[in-house]
Homo-oligomer: A and B are copies of this chain.
């Protein structure tokens, strides 16, 4: 059995999809969370200086989406064929576009520029994406793609707290299909077990 060690800041954010999939698989893993002040000493040993990093049998692998896709396929959460994989990939990449738009506001170090971005983000971009995602889930029988649970759904639900945290409101609350998807994923026994035992963090 391979060993898994996940290294990240003490938050959910981009590591949580990997934690969700490993938990879904029933796979034990070391959930190493370092403090912010440790980051400068850890950063140089990480490929391309970023985390999350998952070590599989000591091999350091980075990139949250690539890892969730890889593990998701092992967990039986991939598409049934290349076309279905494409639909999952499209949904997740679009989620990243949305996250990038939110992050572009949230992480703006310049207060004036940040303030300027807030109104169009909140009144246009955010409702646009959430409505479209809600429709997508409705069209796909309650999932992001192919009418079936995939690693894309786990990705979405796992990062939804991060998105809600940056936006300061629950992104699923007003969108019944997104809300139902989130509830459904959180009710999966292995995910439920993970949620119960994971450390409490804001994001």
In the bound complex, do residue B70 and residue A89 qualify as a contact, i.e. CB atoms below 8 Å apart?
Answer: yes
Contacts of A65 in B (CB 8 A): 89, 93
A49 within 8 A of B: yes
Report the minimum CB–CB distance from A151 to chain B (whole Å).
12
A48 within 8 A of B: yes
Contacts of A89 in B (CB 8 A): 63, 65-66, 69-70
Most B-side CB within 10 Å, residue of A82, A93, A108, A113: A93
In the bound complex, do residue A85 and residue B110 qualify as a contact, i.e. CB atoms below 8 Å apart?
Answer: no
In the bound complex, do residue A128 and residue B63 qualify as a contact, i.e. CB atoms below 8 Å apart?
Answer: no
Sample of 10 further A-B pairs with CB below 8 A, known A47-B132, A48-B94, A104-B104: A48-B97, A50-B97, A62-B90, A65-B89, A66-B86, A66-B90, A66-B93, A69-B89, A70-B83, A110-B113
Q: Using a CB–CB distance below 8 Å, which chain A residues touch chain B?
A: 47-50, 61-63, 65-67, 69-70, 73-74, 82-83, 85-86, 89-90, 93-94, 97, 100, 104, 108, 110, 112-113, 116, 128-129, 132
- What are 17 pairs between A and B in contact, CB < 8 Å? A47-B132, A48-B94, A48-B129, A49-B128, A50-B97, A61-B90, A63-B94, A65-B93, A66-B86, A66-B90, A66-B93, A69-B89, A70-B83, A74-B82, A100-B100, A110-B113, A110-B116
